[in-house]
Amino acid sequence: MNTQDTALVLIDLQKESNFGLQQFDHVIKHTKQTIDACRDADIPVIYTRQINRHDKIGLSKGEPLTSEGTPFYYSTEKDNHEIIDDVAPEENDLIIDKYRWSAFYESNLDLTLRSLGVKNIIVGGVVTDGCVMTTVFDAYFRDYKVHFVKDMCTTSNEGAHMASIMIMSNWIYNMEIYNTPNLIKRLKGESYKHWSFEHVDNQKFTPENMRNVFQTLSPEEE
């Protein structure tokens, strides 16, 4: 990862996203640390925002509605679609609005990354098994190398968080997985640990051995 061709992509860290996600405060804390390290390394910071128009135009099929018939989540009516204050964008940061889970779908994310000459993206945000996972797969399809920071991601349940990370690690052959301290070490040019792949479809699991298999993704915590 050359810092010259790297961007930080933060998925849907919006006020609305604080709907009971597990350890969301940890995610915010780690994200702040990573943002600071990226700014120090002149790595551009890109935020995505899920947007549901209050008039429902462009809304995903089946999206929940309020009793008034407006979108229940991420509605433009309120300020809940804004980025959380603790990790709020600075003036020169990029904000990409999106209308589907993947931040690449009918957004200007890919043209932005191409314009910046980006080849590596550092990814975090919410939810691991939804917007983050679909964005990461789409990044892989477009030949970006994904540096996945697992403690900068969360979702509503432990099982889906763990499973989606193992699924990504199985099928995104060039993905590298970090925790925040090790990612920051890498950005600073210090020695670091991460987890990457030797074999395709490596993380086979059953419910019974899932916790153990997931632990193998965390060599840096040994």
Q: Which residues are at the interface with a second copy (CB under 8 A)? A: 44, 55, 57-64, 73, 92, 94, 97, 99-102, 105-112, 114-116, 129-130, 133-134, 137-138, 140-143, 145, 156-160, 162-164, 166-167, 170-174, 197, 200-201, 203-211, 213
Task: State the nearest-atom distance from the C-beta of 86 to a second copy, in Å.
Answer: 24
Q: How many CB atoms lie within 10 A of CB 130?
A: 18
Segments of 24-88 assigned E as strands: 45-50
Nearer to a second copy, 4 or 105 (CB): 105
Give DSSP secondary structure letters for 113-180: HHHHT--EEEEEEE-IIIIIHHHHHHHHHTTPEEEEEEEEEE-S-HHHHHHHHHHHHHH-TT-EEE-H
The one-letter amino acid at 98 = K
Least Å distance, CB 125 to a second copy, is 15
Residue 190 Cβ vs a second copy, minimum distance, rounded to whole Å: 26
Phi, psi at residue 122, to the nearest 5°?
Answer: -95, 125
Q: Among residues 43 and 133, whose Cβ is nearest to a second copy?
A: 133
CB of 83 to a second copy, least distance (A): 18
Q: Which is nearer to a second copy, 43 or 109 (CB)?
A: 109
Distances (CA, A) of 166 to 26, 129, 134: 21, 11, 14
Write down the least CB distance from residue 188 to a second copy, Å. 25
CB nearer to a second copy: pick between 82 and 97: 97
Q: Which is nearer to a second copy, 84 or 167 (CB)?
A: 167
Residue 212 token pair = 């153990």
